A and B are shown apart, each in its own frame.
Chain A
Amino acid sequence: MRHMSELQPFTIESFYKFVNEGKLMAAKCSKCGKVIFPPRPACPKCLSQNLSWIHIADECKLLTYTIIHVSSKDFESKVPYVLGIVKFAEAGQLLGMIQDIEPSRLKIGMPLKVHFDKTSTTATTVSPQTAQQWPQWPRYYFKPA
């Protein structure tokens, strides 16, 4: 049987493929043990390519946030929206929209959970002209835990 890394290269495309399946996956370096999240084709610490996929639990905490009132055109229908950077317990940080919370209740350090909203993928969030173009990635969101 082939190794999983051969089936699924450690790329951004693979990361989003897993997001589409409703999970966050990271690369773990077999040489130095670093968890690389989001994944990269080589460990940024030791440059080893001896990597394996590990699952990242969807609990995270809020590091900082903003409330966007002026967006680029793909997000015009969403303003105002909350955007935050979150930190995962195992490793890594991600940026994304925070949903289902009043801005006044946002607190740095608060626990959040990742949600994969199947209805909010490319088709509904980008303009019709760009919907057929690269990229075709899903989005993830954070909600109060």
Chain B
Amino acid sequence: MKHHTETKTQPKNTIQNPPTPPPKKIFQTHTNRPSNPKTPSWNDFNSSLVISSASKFTEAGTIVTGKPLASIISAGMSKFGRLDGVYARELFVEAVKDAYERCPNLEPKKDIKALIVGQMGESFEHQGHTGPTMADWVGLTPIPTIRTEAACSSSAVALRTGIMAIMSGLHDVVMVGGVEKMTHRKTTDVTEYLAMACDYPFEQWQGATFPGLFAMVGRAHMHKYGTTEKQMALVAVKNHRHGAMNPKAHMQKEICLEDVLSSRVVAWPLKLYDCSLVTDGASCLVLTKPDIATKFTDTPVHIIGSGQASDTIGLYERENLTNLDAGRLAGQEAYKMAGVKPEDIDVAEVHDCFTIAEIVAYEDLGFCPRGKGGCLIEEGQTGLDGMIAVNTSGGLKAKGHPVGATGAAQAYEIYLQLTEQAGKRQVKGAETGMTHNIGGLGATGVVNIYKRG
């Protein structure tokens, strides 16, 4: 078992966080990654799917093609952080340059046929009409552009829209991405703008904030399953540990359990260190048709499953307050389309806007049984050496959460992991990856599954 090595990587000055014997192992076995991984062949992948025809729809309406939906040939990300004196469009240039440098065979002006970019709010910079703005700044005018908005999952929806553009055959190569500039605004303004992603007349109007709504999910989870504040805090400790290995992360600093538990309360049970960061940043991916991906790179990453679902805009209306169904349903669809199971996932970026959200995501994605998310983090199963490495980038918690850029930034991390470019935080031999991005209070959920090409 790998999970005990987790504690060895703790900083020496950790006040507490002893390796408490976990109550009971949820997972007794898991798929060991090959120590000397071979690049999976195309046939390996095909044979794992039970497909009789080239393309068909299942009863549930999930399209199962038996081949990748689209392939990532490059990805880029700006530095994430508090970046004063920079405009969103300028951050996007940084992300795009990063992607171009990783893919010298790409001739952007000739090859890229459309730009789809996610951004949540015009209020931050008093700037709308993001699509053409970004295209112009990266020299892609006059290609068509689309801006997608789905709160914190805006660029996961951009990615999914890009997949659709490729699958439809309309474009051979598209760029998708996301951007947000937030830190120049006051905290109360940011709180108000972000709250726009939850219901206005029945939530914001009655005093709800984003952390407050997630805190209510957390409180309900504690009540129903016995999840503890300590378990939530351990998510923050883990993600900061990963973030410290990511040179582009907003916070590259390890923290200990006591730091989280003693930080000031934002919306009980959530403390300051349970919350993701207000961050500036941009991210992008270049997608193409799988059959021409190797024209651009020897190491494409294939997107083999994609799911998206919606839920009520208001949390207050839901019968189930302990999980986020849109994420769960998106996951189910993606698994089905990809023909893989939770235990096949080696590395995942999940939506940890608040620590409780990562615990809920474990359950919604089937990494553990319902109600056992707290135990999974406590056992150390989601660290770099665990059963499944979750949020190796540092997640929204430590890498930062420029809301519109987050979805594509998650895919960027998985791209790095599956092409062995993740440096110190590389998950050895990772072959299958996942991104899970939630918009608002889970009113949008987007899950994608990726495979090394």
CB distance B202 to A76 under 8 Å?
no
Q: Which single residue of chain A is at the shortest CB-CB distance from B265? A: A69
CA distance A55 to B35 in the complex (A): 66
Query: Knowing A96-B206, A97-B207, A139-B206 touch, does A66 contact B201 (C-beta < 8 A)?
Result: no
How many Å lie between the Cα of A38 and that of B188 in the bound state? Answer: 29
Given contacts A64-B220, A85-B316, A93-B317, contact A70 B211 (CB under 8 A): yes
The 4 nearest A-B residue pairs measured at CB? A66-B215, A95-B316, A64-B220, A67-B268
CB nearest to A107 among chain B residues: B223
Shortest CB distance A17–B (Å): 13
- A78 within 8 Å of B (CB atoms): yes
CB-based A-B contact count at 8 angstroms: 101
Complex contact A68–B212 (CB within 8 A):
yes
* Chain B residues closer than 8 Å to A76, beta-carbon distance: 188
Q: Are B267 and A95 in contact (CB under 8 A)?
A: no
A 1-17 to B, binary, CB cutoff 8 A, 1 in contact else 0: 00000000000100010
When C-beta atoms are compared, the residue in chain B nearest to A109 turns out to be B223
Is the pair A65, B219 in contact by a Cβ cutoff of 8 Å?
Answer: yes
Complexed CA–CA distance, A59 and B253 (Å): 49
How many Å lie between the Cα of A27 and that of B426 in the bound state?
55
Residues of A103-145 contacting chain B, CB below 8 A: 103, 108, 135, 137, 139-140
Chain B nearest Cβ from A90, distance in angstroms? 15
Measured CB to CB, the closest approach of chain A to B90, in angstroms, equals 29
Contact of A83 among B195, B212, B217 (CB under 8 A): B212
A114 to chain B, nearest CB (A): 12
Q: Is the CB of A65 within 8 A of B216?
A: yes
Asked whether B204 is an interface residue with its Cβ less than 8 Å from the other chain, the reply is yes
Interface assignment of B192: CB less than 8 Å from any CB of chain A: yes
Complex: chain A residue closest to B218, CB-CB:
A66
Q: Establish whether residues B201 and A85, one from each chain, have CB atoms under 8 Å apart when the complex forms.
A: no
Give A137 to B201 CA distance when docked, in angstroms.
Answer: 9
Chain B nearest Cβ from A97, distance in angstroms: 6
Number of interface residues of B (CB under 8 A): 38
Of all chain A residues, the one with the shortest Cβ separation from B266 is A70
Report B-chain residues with C-beta under 8 Å of the C-beta of A73: 188-189, 191-192
Asked if B314 is an interface residue, CB under 8 A from chain A, the answer is yes
Report chain A residues within 8 Å CB of B207.
68, 71, 75, 78, 81, 83, 96-97
CB neighbours of B321 from chain A (8 A): 63-64, 85
Residues of B within 8 A of A108 (CB): 219-220, 223
A139's partner among B205, B211, B269, B318 (CB-CB below 8 A) is B205
Closest to A78 in B: B207
Q: Given that A76-B188, A94-B316, A137-B201 are known contacts, is A68 also in contact with B209, CB under 8 Å in the complex?
A: yes
Q: How far is the CA of A64 from the CA of B201 in the complex (A)?
A: 19
Not counting A64-B217, A66-B269, A140-B206, a sample of 18 additional A-B residue pairs whose C-beta atoms are within 8 angstroms of each other reads A63-B220, A64-B223, A66-B219, A66-B267, A67-B265, A67-B267, A68-B207, A69-B267, A70-B191, A70-B211, A72-B188, A72-B191, A85-B315, A85-B316, A93-B316, A93-B317, A108-B220, A135-B205
| Interface mask (A78-94 → B, CB under 8 Å = 1, otherwise 0) | 10110111000000111
Residue of A whose beta carbon sits closest to that of B312 = A44
**Contact residues in A for B191 (Cβ distance below 8 Å):** 70-73
User: Is the beta-carbon distance between A72 and B219 smaller than 8 angstroms?
Assistant: no
Nearest CB in chain A to that of B270: its residue: A66
In the bound complex, CA of A81 to CA of B223 (Å): 20
Interface residues of A in 51-68 (CB under 8 A from B): 63-68
A72–B195 Cα gap in the complex (Å)?
Answer: 8
Binary contact track B307-349/A, C-beta < 8 Å → 1, others 0? 0000000111110010000000000000000000000000000
Question: Which residues of B in the span 184-206 have a Cβ within 8 Å of any Cβ on A?
Answer: 187-189, 191-192, 195, 201-206
**11 CB < 8 A contacts A-B:** A66-B213, A66-B268, A66-B269, A69-B268, A70-B191, A71-B191, A71-B207, A72-B192, A85-B216, A135-B205, A139-B205
B103 in contact (CB, < 8 A): no
Question: Closest residue to B272 on the A side, CB-wise?
Answer: A70
Give B203's nearest chain A residue, CB to CB: A95
| Residues of A with C-beta under 8 A to B220 | 63-64, 108
Indicate whether B264 reaches chain A with its CB closer than 8 angstroms: yes
**Which residue in chain A gives the minimum CB-CB distance to B195?**
A72
B208 on the A face (CB < 8 A): yes
Q: How far is the CB of B102 from chain A (nearest CB, A)?
A: 39
Interface residues of A in 34-52 (CB under 8 A from B): 38
Contacts of A71 in B (CB 8 A): 188, 191, 207, 209
Closest beta carbon of chain A to B318's beta carbon, Å: 8
Known: A83-B207, A83-B208, A108-B220. A69 touches B266 (CB 8 A): yes
What is the CB-to-nearest-CB distance from A104 to chain B, in angstroms, rounded to a whole number? 11
Determine the distance from Cα of A71 to Cα of B209 in the docked complex, in whole angstroms.
6
* Distance from B222 Cβ to chain A, minimum over Cβ atoms (Å): 9
Residues of chain A contacted by B209 (CB below 8 angstroms): 68, 70-72
B314 touches which of A69, A80, A95 (Cβ 8 Å): A95
